[in-house]
């Protein structure tokens, strides 16, 4: 349990700092392209093109953020195998707090009293989850689960790309939410995949869940990058938090046998719902603050 919690905290810090660095890189890339008068960085609906997303990913700060994402992934994977997913993913999702606070320094984001209340609600809810968490269930030998997470990841990614094309500049929260769902699928795939213990790469590659790790991981990374280009880093990250917490939390309890401590089920539910509600509040407040800024402030 302790190792799993430490791994989740490492993932939390890695993902939180990474989001801010990647948002900084995305904004600087967009501002530089605008100053050079380059075309082809925005679609007809106002969303970022694949070219602009690729350009943002090549900035120094974005690359450093990607390295921290890799650290976060390692911590998240370890925690997903050792502690209940509803606890693992919720602790990892607390990177929202790090993103919000660090964003005030690096990105010049102003946090209002309502933002701090929402952040405090997330932290308090995480404490309740930690107190109520019980044992982690195992994996699953059911082929339906292994194929389901692969097919589900591919379908969710396709829906996300379609919505971004349709919504354009209004797709920030949607892109963040769907990237979170994909990261949630990633956690499920890591829990159930064959070939981890003992490590056998051949076994992993023959398992649909192994391919689901690639689809959900790369797809979630791409959609999160798009979300950071389109909107508030706090709003996009908070939406991601909801997606990556709800899906694996429910699947972990219903399918994989995760459980809370006997008699403390109600406390786990309160903590889980409170953390999600706090994240939703930060997403709504962050999106509202972002929309209220002049265009020149958004792109610097």
Bridge partners for 48 per DSSP: 42
pLDDT score at 176: 86
Bridge partners for 260 per DSSP: 133
pLDDT score at 40: 54
Q: What is the dihedral of CA 228, 111, 239, 215, to 10 degrees?
A: 40
Residue carrying the six token digits 């398992």:
207
pLDDT score at 296: 38
Residue-wise pLDDT tens for the chain (300 aa)? 788 889 999 999 998 898 888 878 877 776 676 666 665 555 555 556 667 777 777 788 889 988 998 999 899 889 988 888 878 887 887 787 788 788 787 777 777 888 888 888 877 887 787 778 777 777 788 899 999 999 999 999 999 999 888 887 777 888 888 998 999 899 999 999 998 878 889 999 999 999 999 999 999 988 988 887 776 676 777 778 778 877 888 888 888 888 888 888 888 888 888 877 887 777 667 655 555 444 333 332
Residue 267 CA to residue 10 CA, distance in Å, equals 25
pLDDT score at 38: 60
Structure tokens at 209: 């869940």
pLDDT score at 181: 92
Q: Are 80 and 184 in contact (CB under 8 A)?
A: no
Q: Are 18 and 93 in contact (CB under 8 A)?
A: no
pLDDT score at 294: 42
Residue 88 CA to residue 8 CA, distance in Å, equals 6
pLDDT score at 20: 86
């Amino acid at each position: 349990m302790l190792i799993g919690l430490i791994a989740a905290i490492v993932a939390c810090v890695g993902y939180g700092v990474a989001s801010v660095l990647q948002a900084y890189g995305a904004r600087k890339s967009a501002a530089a392209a605008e100053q050079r008068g380059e075309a082809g960085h925005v679609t007809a609906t106002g969303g970022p093109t694949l070219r602009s997303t690729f350009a943002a990913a090549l900035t120094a700060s974005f690359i450093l953020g990607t390295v921290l994402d890799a650290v976060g992934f390692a911590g998240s994977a370890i925690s997903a195998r050792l502690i209940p997913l509803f606890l693992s993913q919720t602790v990892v999702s607390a990177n929202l707090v790090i993103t919000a606070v660090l964003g005030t320094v690096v990105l010049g984001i102003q946090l209002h009293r309502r933002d701090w209340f929402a952040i405090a609600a997330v932290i308090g809810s995480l404490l309740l989850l930690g107190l109520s968490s019980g044992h982690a269930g195992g994996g699953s030998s059911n082929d339906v689960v292994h194929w389901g997470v692969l097919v589900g990841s591919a379908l969710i990614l396709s829906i996300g790309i379609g919505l971004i094309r349709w919504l354009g500049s209004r797709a920030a929260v949607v892109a963040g939410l769907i990237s979170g769902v994909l990261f949630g699928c990633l956690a499920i795939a890591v829990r159930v995949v064959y070939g981890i213990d003992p490590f056998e790469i051949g076994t992993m590659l023959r398992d649909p869940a192994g391919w689901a790790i690639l689809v959900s991981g790369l797809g979630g990374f791409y959609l999160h990058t798009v979300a950071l280009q389109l909107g508030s880093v706090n709003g996009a990250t908070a939406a991601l938090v909801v997606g990556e917490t709800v899906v694996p939390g429910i699947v972990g309890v219903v399918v994989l046998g995760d459980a809370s401590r006997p008699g403390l089920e109600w406390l786990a539910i309160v903590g889980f719902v409170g953390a999600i509600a706090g994240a939703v509040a930060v997403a709504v407040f962050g999106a509202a603050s972002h929309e209220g800024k002049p265009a020149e402030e958004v792109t610097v």
